[in-house]
Structure 1
Amino acid sequence: MNFDPQEPLMIGVDAVRIGQVLDNLISNAVKYSPHGGALSLRVWADGNDLRCEVSDQGIGMSASEQEGVFVKFFRARSAVDRKIPGIGLGLMISKTIIETHGGSLSFTIHQGEGTTMSFRIPACVIGAEMSSTVT
């Protein structure tokens, strides 16, 4: 994995929950990438926002499957066929956590070439009370 932070970034977040998001995005990248595939993690300040991208060289999803990415219990047909472990909750939970922080979680998928999961958290949440509850 390639990780190249440019400078220290300070932002007020629920560190346990953001850690949960990072754990999910990185573990998905590992699970869905071929053996020996490269992963990258990029974190940077974008104006007053915190940005993060996790990219892999994985199997991707069809355009029709992409509609279900953030739906509870959704599993892509390719993941089910390849018996990749999971129950389809990680991305839905991650999206909820990021939105609770006032941010957004998105993705770019290139079928058969890889996926990039990205999130943005506005710096304006510094000092705001963060809830640890995810439903």
Structure 2
Amino acid sequence: MRPVLVVNRLDAERLQRLIDTAAHRDVVAEALEAELERAEVVEPEEIPADVVSMNSQVRFTELGRGTELTRTLVYPHALADTPDGLSVMAPVGAALWGLKVGETIDWELPNGRRIQLRVDAILWQPEAARQYHR
């Protein structure tokens, strides 16, 4: 069973536009749209501080390998300006978006391999910093 996603309205609108204007629909875009459809959408001011939102810096573990990583979840256009950036249009980025600290998700990669990710911490979140339009 997948965890319930909580996402802010601005992120949801921006992601839907990104999906709609993609040059081609790939597996990740399809999966992200499915996540968007099942998500609980709230106003940016209502996002809990323990939720991975866009531009959040998150520490997570790939449980199969025991690899712990810290990345900032960004839109594709921001990758060049974000040294630790992880695109929301990348498989791992799409999997993390909307999860809460402590939650795990089993996610299928485009090559058919499955990974299990756990959110360990949110190190910075725009909503918690009251940067609602970032």
- Per the TM superposition, whether the score is higher than 0.5 is no
Question: Which has more radius of gyration?
Answer: 1
Tell me the TM-score normalised to structure 2 length: 0.28
